[in-house]
Structure 1
Amino acid sequence: MKTEQQMAIRQLEEKINLFSSVVNGSFLSTEDFVLSNTHISTDTFNLLLPISAHIQDQQKVEAAIEQMQQQQLAFSTWITQSLLHPNWSNIMQKYGLQEVERNTIMMLEHTNDIDQRTSQSLTIKEVTDDQTFLDYQHLFIELFEGSPEAIALNTYFQRFSIERLHPSTRMFVGYEHNKPVTTGLLIETADSYGIYDVITKAEHRGRGLGSDMFHYLLTQTDNKQKCVMLQASNDGKHIYQRAGFQPIGEMVIFE
């Protein structure tokens, strides 16, 4: 597996660990996989992440999946295409886990050349208090409106502690005319930055507000020599390529 893909896996591992700890969840790390368990039935934040193609201890993998299922906790499995060998494919099939999505893993080598332009209409604030956090979570949950996941996420954010959020993790809300319309998340790890959760309120999409938030996140990297990782849908990857990001792999998601 390429070094860049290993960095992307480490980046995601750090994210799910952090977002489990802020709700007093648990994090299991083995030589084959890591598993974040928030103890809430959310497949957004309960993630099984394989880190080895050839499983060394299949019983441990199956025990972890069975425990989640027995506790009726929704979770998702994120596997890079390079790790999706028959070992993992067979386990997904055995436990009825279906492929639901594929994302392109993309990387920008550095942020030296990112200009400091500001949005014409967007005021961006970092989440540091109860009000900005409330605005962030409302926009996030709105993506899942009307689904069981929305109920689970509401419980998740009620247990979320900003005080426990690591300084390496920065959440942002973009406001237009004092109304929250977009979000963004930037995480720094030892060897990279990760951009996540660039979300725009449905009725405000198509006007470049998400792009403004995305560009702003790129300007917030303190170490301009570090690479930046993200995962893009088929629709989004062309936008990120125009910003200089290059595809380095594919992430397959099972639920």
Structure 2
Amino acid sequence: MPAPEIRAVADNLVEALRFFGRARQDAEICDLPGVTLIFCGLNYAAFNAALLTRQVDDDAAELERLVQLSAAHFEARKLRWTLWICDDFLSGRLRRQAPLILDRWGLRLLTQAPGMYAAHLLPPDRALPSVEVRRVDDERTRTAFAEIMSTAFEIPHSVSASIYGSERAWCSGFQGYVGFENGRAVTSAASTMTTDAIGLYSVATLPQHRRRGFAEAIMRQVLERAATQPTVLQSTSSGLSLYEKMGYRTVTDFAVYIAD
């Protein structure tokens, strides 16, 4: 049984990615035993996700069954997609076997995302910039959020605008925020609440404004608005050192595979 911190990270991630299954009228979410399938309404792999939702342990046949189910769901529509697996949902032996199993289904490892947890944040170790944080709730903030996502994560502008610029996308529990300096949008973050934690996602800063503390500033402001409870996130390699300084620690890893 994964530790409570691992379960909190994994459950929050599934809830956060549901955002993409609600963003468009033709998007959908399919919850099946052991796996959640999310279709964003577009043929864009990063936003079409299959996420394992329970332990498989050492059962290679069960892992293959869940992958087959996911592949059939997306490939019937000729969609590219990604598969997210929490390392602690597999035994050590099956974790080593997984790449070979998944290769049979046309899936290759795209990245490893550390799952991080903080019971509370440490005080900042530097002066943070002043940033006006606005919730994404109108056309201006939706457009700004979409543009930051497109630039920071190299998402095609049309895809980013179609998802993040959609009014219906922001009617769920996934709350977006944009940070402004002198009236210009410079940074972003989003949050998702689950029973055991608040998760932070979409933390990004436009390239010309990086290394000035905007990401940390918006993260802290967003968390100040939330109830006092543990916080979780998935890190990129570039953000890992910042999050560790803020008090986060890696409790698990997520292997992300992409269908070629």
TM-score bracket for the superposition, by shorter chain length: 0.7 to 0.9
Alpha-carbon deviation of 1:248? Answer: 0.6
Give the match for residue 242 of structure 1. Answer: 245
Classify the secondary structure of the residue corresponding to 1:249. strand
Alpha-carbon deviation of 1:42? Answer: 2.0
**C-alpha distance in 2 between matches for 1:178 and 1:80:** 40
Q: CA, structure 1 residues 159+73, in 2 after alignment: closer, same or farther (shift >3 Å)?
A: farther
Q: CA, structure 1 residues 41+197, in 2 after alignment: closer, same or farther (shift >3 Å)?
A: same
2:88 to 79, 82, 86: 82
How high is the TM-score relative to the length of structure 2? 0.84
Moved more, 182-191 or 58-67: 58-67
1:153 to 157, 160, 175: 160
Structure 1 consecutive aligned stretches of length 4 or more whose deviation exceeds 6 Å? none
**C-alpha distance in 2 between matches for 1:208 and 1:158:** 26
Following superposition of structure 1 onto structure 2, how do residues 109-188 of structure 1 map, counting pairs within 5 Å?
109-110=119-120, 119-145=128-154, 149-161=156-168, 165-166=171-172, 168-188=173-193
Alpha-carbon deviation of 1:90? Answer: 4.4
Contact 1:40 1:156 in 2 (8 A): no
Alpha-carbon deviation of 1:155? Answer: 2.9
**Identical amino acids, percent of aligned pairs:** 19
Alpha-carbon deviation of 1:181? Answer: 0.7
How many corresponding residue pairs? 247
Structure 1 unaligned runs (5+)?
Answer: none
Classify the secondary structure of the residue corresponding to 1:98. strand
Classify the secondary structure of the residue corresponding to 1:125. strand
Structure 2 unaligned runs (5+)?
Answer: none
**C-alpha distance in 1 between matches for 2:207 and 2:160:** 18
Classify the secondary structure of the residue corresponding to 1:175. strand
**C-alpha distance in 2 between matches for 1:160 and 1:78:** 27
How high is the TM-score relative to the length of structure 1? 0.85
**C-alpha distance in 1 between matches for 2:199 and 2:46:** 17
Q: CA, structure 1 residues 235+131, in 2 after alignment: closer, same or farther (shift >3 Å)?
A: closer
Q: CA, structure 1 residues 48+88, in 2 after alignment: closer, same or farther (shift >3 Å)?
A: farther
